[in-house]
Structures are given as C-alpha cells and as structure tokens.
Amino acid sequence: MAAQKFSPEDILIEKLNDKHDVRCFRSYEPELVDFLVEDALNNQHQNLSTTFLWFHKGSLVSYITLLTDKINLEGNLKAFFKEKGIYYKSLPALKIGRLCVHDDYLHRGLGKMMVVFAIQEATDINENKAGCRFITLDAKRNKDKSLDSIHFYRKLGFGTLKERAKGTTPMYIDTKTP
C-alpha cells in the first residue's frame, strides 16, 4: 500500500541553525546530503543562501535552500518582454539552490509542497520587500533517467531556460503566470 501524502499542517519548517543535527539525512543524491551536512550552514553565515528544514513528528524529512538570482533576457523571453514594453537586460528571480526529500519520505507530496513554498516566498518578497519576477533552478540529471528531476519540475509548470548536453538544466517559472 502506498504511504499517505503529507498534509501541510503536519509539517514544521525551521530555518537551519547550529543547533540542528542534520547528519541523519539520507538521499540517493549524495551531493545533496553533503551540501546539507557540510556547506549549508556556512553558506548561510556568509549570506550566500538560506536553508529551511522540514520536520514531520520530529523527523527531518526534507530541505530547501533559497538564494537570489536573475535571468538574462535572450531569444523568446527577450521578445516576450519587449512586446510588453520591458527592455531590461535581466530580470530578478528567487532561486531554488537545493531541494531534496529524504529517501524514506519520497512520493508523498513533499517535493511539490517545497516548490509551492518557494513560490509563496517569492510572493511575499514581491508584496513586501523587492521585485522578484521568476523562480529559477538548475535541475539535476541522474544516471537513471527515471530519477531526472527535470520531469518533476516540468510537471509543476517549469520551462527550460537553456538546453544543455551535459550537467544541470536551468529552468524557470514566471510568477505572473496564472
């Protein structure tokens, strides 16, 4: 039987601090474990990114790391904004730097909920703090194609910014898209 989906009310979100012990975190993407255990707090102290830990009944189930970004307007995107009378070379964005669900809690809605969280943060920035037109990210590839996160993000409405033969794929969503 498939495990039940998480509901947002059962989740506690905390900004990473030096009291958190994150060494219990496990993922089939070891780089994302290493980032959380070794770099996330230091990056936060250096104002490079902010990491939010998600807990369910006291267990660390996932995390998301956010930072500021911009998109350089080129090609279709440049033409799209030109039609609207917007001629800037680049537009502001909020980037999902890292997003990862613990292996024991996959396919229970956490990934999608964290993307929604990022969109809500962008809305808050727009309403109260600064302009933020896009959400951006670099989608990871996996040797096992079925684990490519590109498909996950496409399903949630993200478009591809640039096709690349190797490495990560830059993706984005426009916060003005209904």
Ligand X SMILES: CC(C)(COP(=O)(O)OP(=O)(O)OC[C@H]1O[C@@H](n2cnc3c(N)ncnc32)[C@H](O)[C@@H]1OP(=O)(O)O)[C@@H](O)C(=O)NCCC(=O)NCCS
140 interacts with ligand X by CB under 6 A: yes
- Interface pick for ligand X out of 110, 122, 132, 171 (rule CB under 6 A): 110
Q: Which is nearer to ligand X, 73 or 118 (CB)?
A: 118
Q: Which is nearer to ligand X, 133 or 140 (CB)?
A: 140
Nearest to 92 by CA among 76, 78, 74, 73: 73
Q: How far apart are the first and last CA of the chain?
A: 35
Give least dist CB 96 to ligand X, A.
Answer: 7
Q: Rounded to an integer, what distance in angstroms lies between the CA atom of residue 47 and that of residue 161? A: 26
Q: Rounded to an integer, what distance in angstroms lies between the CA atom of residue 133 and that of residue 85? A: 15
Site residues for ligand X, 153-172, by CB under 6 A, read 155
Question: What token pair was written down for 104?
Answer: 């024991």
Continuous segment of H or E residues that includes residue 60: strand 59-72
- Using CA atoms, how far residue 121 sits from 75, 96, 153, 175, in Å, is 28, 11, 18, 11
Q: Which stretch binds ligand X (CB under 6 A): 44-52, 66-74, 83-91, 95-103?
A: 95-103
- Interface pick for ligand X out of 112, 126, 141, 175 (rule CB under 6 A): 112
Binding mask 27-66 for ligand X (x = CB under 6 A): x-x--x----------------------------------
Q: Are strands 90-101 and 50-56 parallel, antiparallel or unpaired?
A: unpaired
Separation of CA 109 from chain center: 14
Give least dist CB 15 to ligand X, A.
Answer: 19
- Considering CB under 6 A, how many residues would be counted as binding ligand X? 21
Q: In the complex, which residues of this chain contact ligand X (CB under 6 A)?
A: 27, 29, 32, 98-101, 106-112, 139-140, 147, 149, 151-152, 155
